[in-house]
């Protein structure tokens, strides 16, 4: 009887301690947030705005001082970059085909969690507006997650990740439309070529028959 009672007390104690541990872990971000002053929030927003401006203007020289020495950028097509020149080359290649310009703007307020007073994890939504060389425009909804770390009194981007709905991708849709147009053009071209070949063949047959 006593063993059962002590076993029950032990189980209850374990449950209470587990619950308290969950509460402590859950409240860590709030505690870290309480230690962050408004100046840090403003500095984080400034880093975000500089990064956004770099993407929209294709001028990455200004954002480089705000990147963590071991930063990582993951694009919507699942490519990973660790060097600014590599990402800059990738970004400029987006404008070598049917895309004329890309402008990105944030949507709503980000969700921000401070793991420590020096590490901020933020996520939110954005809209990428595409302008195509044929005059058409389209918008693509994005989700992003960023990890920022404070280094030497400067908030730097440690990692940045973008994702999108592949089923609602204006670039993919434009490529599919172009593929359909090329397929139709190829079909028409093949029909015309076949018709011309048939006419030439008939003419040649008539000439041979006339000689006989």
Structure tokens at 119: 């590490």
Q: Which residues does 129 contact at the CB level (< 8 Å), separation at least 6?
A: 102, 103, 104, 105, 137, 138, 139
What angle is formed at CA 89 by the lines to CA 45 and CA 43, rounded to 5 degrees? 10
State how far the Cα of 138 lies from the Cα of 80, in Å rounded to an integer. Answer: 25
State how far the Cα of 95 lies from the Cα of 191, in Å rounded to an integer. Answer: 34
Mean pLDDT of 35-39: 84
Mean pLDDT of 160-184: 58
Q: Which residues does 107 contact at the CB level (< 8 Å), separation at least 6?
A: 124, 125, 126, 127, 141
Q: pLDDT at position 17, please? A: 34
CA distances, 56 to each of 42, 91, 131, 165 (Å) = 21, 10, 12, 21
Reading phi first (left if > 0) and then psi (alpha if -120 to 50, else beta), residue 58 is in left
Reading phi first (left if > 0) and then psi (alpha if -120 to 50, else beta), residue 98 is in alpha
Q: Which DSSP category does 28 fall into?
A: H
Q: pLDDT at position 212, please? A: 55
* Model confidence pTM above 0.75: no
Span 60-85, pLDDT tens digits: 998 999 999 999 999 988 899 999 99
Cβ-contact 127, 141 below 8 angstroms: yes
Q: What is the dihedral of CA 175, 180, 186, 192, to 10 degrees?
A: -150
Q: pLDDT at position 186, please? A: 39
């Amino acid at each position: 009887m006593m063993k059962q009672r002590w076993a029950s007390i032990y189980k209850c104690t374990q449950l209470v301690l587990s619950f308290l541990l969950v509460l402590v872990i859950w409240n860590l971000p709030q505690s870290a947030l309480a230690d962050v002053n408004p100046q840090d929030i403003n500095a984080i927003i400034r880093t975000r705005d500089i990064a956004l401006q770099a993407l929209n203007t294709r001028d990455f020289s200004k954002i480089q001082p705000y990147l963590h020495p071991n930063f990582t950028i993951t694009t919507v097509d699942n490519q990973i970059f660790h060097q600014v020149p590599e990402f800059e080359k990738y970004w400029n290649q987006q404008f070598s085909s049917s895309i004329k310009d890309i402008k990105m703007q944030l949507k709503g307020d980000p969700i921000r969690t401070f793991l420590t007073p020096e590490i901020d994890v933020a996520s939110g939504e954005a809209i990428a507006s595409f302008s195509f060389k044929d005059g058409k425009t389209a918008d693509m909804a994005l989700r992003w997650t960023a990890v920022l770390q404070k280094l030497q009194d400067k908030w730097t981007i440690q990692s940045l990740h973008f994702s999108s709905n592949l089923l609602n991708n204006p670039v993919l849709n434009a490529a599919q439309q172009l593929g359909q147009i090329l397929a139709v053009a190829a079909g028409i071209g093949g029909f015309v070529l076949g018709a011309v070949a048939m006419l030439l063949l008939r003419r040649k047959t008539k000439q041979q028959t006339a000689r006989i």
